Structure 1
Amino acid sequence: MQTNASRRVFLSALAAGAGGLVLGGSALPSRTSAALPSRALRQDPFALGVASGEPAADGVVLWTRLALDPLAPDGLGGMPSRPVDVQWQLASDERFSTVVRSGTAAARPTAAHSVHVEVDGLEPGREYFYRFRVDGHLSETARTRTAPTGMSPLRFAVAACAHWEHGYYTAYRRIAEQEPELVVHLGDYIYEYQPEGYTALGGTVREHAGNKCQTLADYRIRHAQYKTDRDLQAAHLVAPWLVAFDDHEIENNWAGTASSTDAPGFAERRAHAFQAYYENMPLRRACVPRGASIRINRRVQWGETARFHLLDTRQFRDDQACEDGDRAGCDERLDAGRTILGAGQHRWLLDGLAGSQARWNLIGQQVLMAQRDFRPGPGTELNMDSWDGYPAERASLLEGVRASGAANPVVLTGDAHMHHAADLKPDFDDPDSPRVAVELVTSSVSSDGDGYRDRAKVAQLLRENPHISYIDQRRGYIMCELSEDEMRAEFRTLDYISRRGAPARTAARFTVPSGHAQLNA
């Protein structure tokens, strides 16, 4: 394990943006510029940073994507139209005095010069450090870890929704400073709009490059722009990530094969978006897209402590009822056959829960599962893009979760741009309906701008939705800690993101005792 002193060295290097400059006796061989071959890259190709993900007990995925000019119009980052050899190292210490795995991977133009290295044969529950080198250029040093095999405490962050134009990514920086062992990102990693295509109340803080994302080049440029952000890079440097997309990685409120704008060629657009998503995320080969489809629902085991069940609430859903949006009196949504998961994924989740021996079963998904009524007084007004548009399947799923016998199911959610903590019940209109699980919903990293604290509005929403314990409209993330006995969740908020440097504060704390599907403040 890393000592406190060495961790301080690593974090100091991270803060200075010089993590890759710490070298030891086993460093990758360097070459002077005079010795570089004529085809060598003459400038640093690591502008998009490095990342890791998909931790297992014996391995992890290491990622980078080379770019000399991240916003080059063809989406290829100014790279030559040939494969480039990328050397990689993984060590047990940040000075790389003990290198445990190393190799060379080809960054190919057909994959936008991205590299996905699936390292195996590692020890469980261990911290490791990794870096890349290309033609004498060294990436920053990053930290990752493998999953344990037994029961072990876990600290992880939950984040979602980072619109570039709406503000700075200070929340990612604050996540990095808290040194989680894992980061779970639940979608809207990028936004597909044209410049100023979706404006926040406070206006545009910084502008999207390129066009509205439709072509492969468009999506590659947008991912590259987001990846240049140093606060986002910092969050990738400290821990492995688990990622799943929502809608804006492709198009706002898309549903299955249906475009929300009815634009022609949506299958081709999906294929482009999925290709760029895979190229820019630390995912395993099992997630390589096949045209207009990609497998993103998967299970990740964290020893005996937790099993993560990551869902896809976009590819298999029926189109939103009643022309989408927030609706009152929408009978179409009540159709018993409507699905947000698809029959196959629904069964897959319940089978995975039934077979789980983990103490905690964490269901990572994208849209609010708890019912949320926006209308004060009699009647309801609901969001058709959330699970409220699919209440029959929600009731069936929650009954199935209850029947599965899985220990401590907790739903982790993004999308809403507001913190929520809620109880999940098969029938939200029946006070006697049993509590099956709890839901923790993270606010956005930056989407919708600075946010606000409207105490009167929050009080009204809580009155209309007694199963919801907490709502906060400010930006932020959730920091969670699992032990054998309980789950602790801290809802972290920032007062502003329209300028840099906001501190993060804990606005609310909840515990979930093991064996009890309830939120304790």
Structure 2
Amino acid sequence: MSQVNRRVVLLGGLASAAGAVAASTPSWATSRTTAAAPPIHDPFQLGVASGDPLPDSVVLWTRLAPAPLNPDGFGGMPNATYDVDWEIATDENFASVVRRGTVPTARAHGHSVHVEPGGLDAGRDYFYRFRAGGHISPVGRTRTAPAAGAAVNQLKYCFASCQHWEEGWYHAHRGIAADHPDLVLFLGDYIYEKPSGRSASEKVRGLAVSDETTTLALYRARHAQHKTDSYLQAAHAAAPWFVVFDDHEVVNNWNATTDRASTARKAAAFQAFYENTPIRSTAKPNGASIQLYRQFMWGNLARFHMLDTRQFRSKQAGKGSCSTMADPSRTLTGSAQERWLLDAFETHPATWDFLGQQVFFAQRDTDGKRSSCDDRSTDAWDGYQGSRDRITQGWIDRGVPNPIVLTGDVHRHWAADLRKDYFDHSDPVVGSELVCTSASTQNPTSNPSDTWFRNNPHVKYSKNERGYVRVTATPDQVRADFRVVSNALERDPGKVTVSTDRSFVVAAGTRGLHSA
């Protein structure tokens, strides 16, 4: 049995072995559900997850939901408080438990659980599980970050985005789990707020609740349906995740030319996002505000800047509004987040700086003419040129040694070099961008033409297939493998391959992508 299939079996079947597992952990035998809470059947149908690893800590997550598809968003849980036991061990059989505890959860939190155990050893694998109402959860693997400044020879991570439930099977996540990464980054559109507008032939499964998500109940139900997918559960159980949102976690282009989401809707979306994501309590939303941008170190090898390009942006420019798009006062990140990022660039604690964010950073211009801009995206950094210029110049002025931007959103693989002036094809390369395609969301548009590539020579690659990107970083280079799914519309994994279409390398100290 392959490792990924073994993980799926664990995820589907470990709870049924609750008696045997409980016998190996006698201290759990006396744990009790909060008095007067009704009995529940298997509450761990959404699996387990971990995230935001530090050298001595990591977030452990689960959510109790014996009936996860219920439209009321309560997941089949009674309106009662339940104690959830957790433990983390150095081995998958839990012979060496290093931390354990009990936390309560209730309907006000969607019966979600966020645990942040401390005092862990840096740079090592751990295994974790939960117990509630007499049931044992699946086992997840996680990993703490290396100690601050520790020498790290290699980091392997995968990043993905855009996983519309109806539009494809999650073979990309099957591939991620099989890769056994140290980390997974998810760069936005974990859910979609409304049903797919695709034809019947482009959809593979239906939504349990087809209403557009506008309330907390509906956002909770939509998140829950995604979490029932066994391949997604396997990817969550394989490694800790860094997660940020894009727009569809609220509503498409919700902070666009006008704010398309009410305060109440954003508050509901942010709460559901927090409840269903392995992020730290520092990100717990306050109504219609959430602190999502944050930084993580991986020893002396990598620093991750996880950005929020939705919440604080200036309103989008109208199509073809060149002067607005070029207005230096406009911002995609907001001034506070921009200053936070530029301040971080003042120090160079790692070989590689990875900017994990949502929308296309490099310029994409169809006709190659500086004077026209109606062929550039107002939603991406092209629509916020002053913001892009300040950040690009910021890492140049501060001597950031090896900046690489990681991007989702556009449902197509791309690889591009970064310049200050994209119309000057001899302008020096100052960084690179790796863009992952969608995990499942379809993209019916055609591939760029040869003329388009001649007008955009900084763009080295484009592929319209579903998949993800696998990155291997060492002190000498970053290698990016663009992984593709042979057919996301085919359910049978025996008929679907996950393979590498192209690979690119960036050498440390040398700007620019090269074919591997």
**TM-score, normalised with respect to structure 1:** 0.91
- Residues 164-173 or 370-379, more deviating: 370-379
Which sits farther off after the overlay, 303-312 or 19-28? 19-28
Distance change (3 Å), C-alpha of 1:356 and 1:256: farther
CA distance in 2, matches of 1:140, 1:442: 29
Give the Cα–Cα distance (whole angstroms) in 2 for the partners of residues 360 and 25 of structure 1: 46
**Amino acid corresponding to residue 442 of structure 1 in structure 2:** C
What residue identity is the alignment partner of 1:358?
A: A
Matching of residue 505 in structure 1 with residue 499 in structure 2: yes
Hey, what does 2:350 align to over in structure 1? 358
Supply the AA of the counterpart residue of 1:203. E
* Letter of the structure 1 residue corresponding to residue 198 of structure 2: T
Q: Deviations over 1:392-440 (max 9, x none)?
A: 2211210111112122111000001111111111111122332211000
CA distance in 2, matches of 1:59, 1:249: 27
Give the deviation of 1:70 after TM superposition: 0.8
CA distance in structure 2 between the aligned counterparts of 1:154 and 1:126, rounded to whole angstroms: 13
Match of 1:462 among 438, 453, 464: 453
The yes-or-no answer on 1:41 pairing with 2:39 is yes
CA distance, structure 2, for counterparts of residue 329 and residue 142 of structure 1: 49
Q: What is aligned with 1:404?
A: 398
Shift of 1:376: 7.7
- Structure 2: how far apart are the matches of 1:286 and 1:329? 38
Q: Deviation string for 1:185-225 (max 9, x for gaps)?
A: 000000001x34x3269432212232101111111111111
Q: What amino acid does structure 1 have at the position aligned with 2:52?
A: E
Kindly indicate whether the alpha-carbon contact (under 8 Å) linking 1:151 and 1:484 is maintained by their aligned counterparts in 2. no
1:86 aligns with 2:84: yes
Q: State the partner residue of 2:512.
A: 518
Alpha-carbon distance change, 290 to 37 in structure 1, aligned in 2, over 3 angstroms: closer
SS in structure 2 opposite 1:390?
Answer: helix
> Are 1:163 and 2:156 counterparts?
no
Name the CA distance, whole Å, in 2 between partners of 1:257 and 1:268. Answer: 19
Separation in structure 2 between the aligned mates of residue 432 and residue 359 of structure 1, nearest angstrom: 26
1:344 to 336, 341, 348: 336
Deviation for aligned residue 1:442 = 0.3
Residues 87-96 or 427-436, more deviating: 427-436
> Residue 303 of structure 1 corresponds to which residue in structure 2?
299
Q: CA deviation at 1:257?
A: 9.9
Whether 1:476 and 2:464 are equivalent positions in the alignment is no
**For 1:18-417, what aligned pairs fall within 5 Å after superposition?**
18=13, 21=17, 23=21, 26-27=24-25, 39-149=37-147, 150-152=150-152, 153-193=154-194, 195-196=195-196, 198-199=197-198, 202-210=201-209, 211-255=211-255, 258-260=258-260, 266-322=262-318, 327-328=319-320, 330-375=322-367, 379-380=372-373, 381-417=375-411
Kept after mapping to 1: 8 A contact 2:213/2:222: yes
Matched position secondary structure for 2:202:
coil
Q: Distance in 1 between matches of 2:34 and 2:296?
A: 42
Taking the aligned partners of 2:369 and 2:498, their CA distance within structure 1 comes to 35
Distance in 1 between residues matched to 2:460 and 2:66, nearest whole Å: 48
SS at match of 2:116: strand
Residues 257 and 317 of structure 2 are in contact (CA less than 8 Å); yes or no, is this contact kept in structure 1? Answer: no
Partner residue in 2 for 1:5: none
Distance in 2 separating the partners of 1:236 and 1:71? 20
Q: Contact (CA 8 Å) 2:325, 2:384: kept in 1 or not?
A: yes
Q: Letter of the aligned partner of 2:128 in structure 1? A: Y
Paired with 2:199 and 2:181, the residues of 1 have a C-alpha distance of 30
User: Residue deviations 1:367-399, cap 9 Å, x none?
Assistant: 000011234889551111011111122112101
With 431-440 and 278-287 compared, the bigger mean Cα shift is at 431-440
Separation in 1, partners of 2:206, 2:401: 45
Percent of matched pairs sharing the same residue? 45
Aligned residue in 2 for 1:3: none
Is the 2:345–2:394 contact (alpha carbons within 8 Å) kept by the matching residues of 1?
A: no
Unaligned runs of 5+ in 1: 1-7
**Shift of the alpha carbon at 1:108?**
1.5
Query: Residue in 2 aligned with 1:4?
Result: none
CA distance in 1, matches of 2:502, 2:283: 36
| Inter-CA distance 291–36: structure 2 relative to 1 (3 Å threshold) | closer
State the AA in 2 paired with 1:77: G
SS in 1 for 2:54: coil
Distance 1:256 1:124, change over 3 A: farther
Look up the SS of the partner of 2:208 in the other structure.
coil
Instruction: Give the Cα–Cα distance (whole angstroms) in 2 for the partners of residues 440 and 164 of structure 1.
Output: 24
1:468: Cα distance to partner?
Answer: 0.4
Structure 1 residue 334: deviation in Å?
1.7
RMSD of the TM alignment (CA)? 2.4
Distance 1:330 1:200, change over 3 A: farther
| Structure 1 residue aligned with 2:482 | 491
Call closer, same or farther: CA 1:412–1:48 in 2, change over 3 Å.
same
- The answer as to whether partners of 1:51 and 1:64 remain within 8 angstroms in 2 is yes
Contact 2:80–2:107 (Cα < 8 Å) also in 1: yes
Residue 13 (str. 1) matches residue 6 (str. 2): yes
Q: Matched residues in 2 for 1:12 and 1:201: separation?
A: 29
SS at 2:130 equivalent: strand
Structure-1 separation of matches of 2:67 and 2:225 = 10
Deviation at residue 494 of structure 1 after TM alignment: 1.1
TM-score of the pair, normalised by structure 2: 0.92
AA at the equivalent of 2:477 = E
CA contact (8 A) 2:66 2:77 kept: yes
| Number of residue pairs aligned between Structure 1 and Structure 2 | 499
Shift of 1:65: 0.4
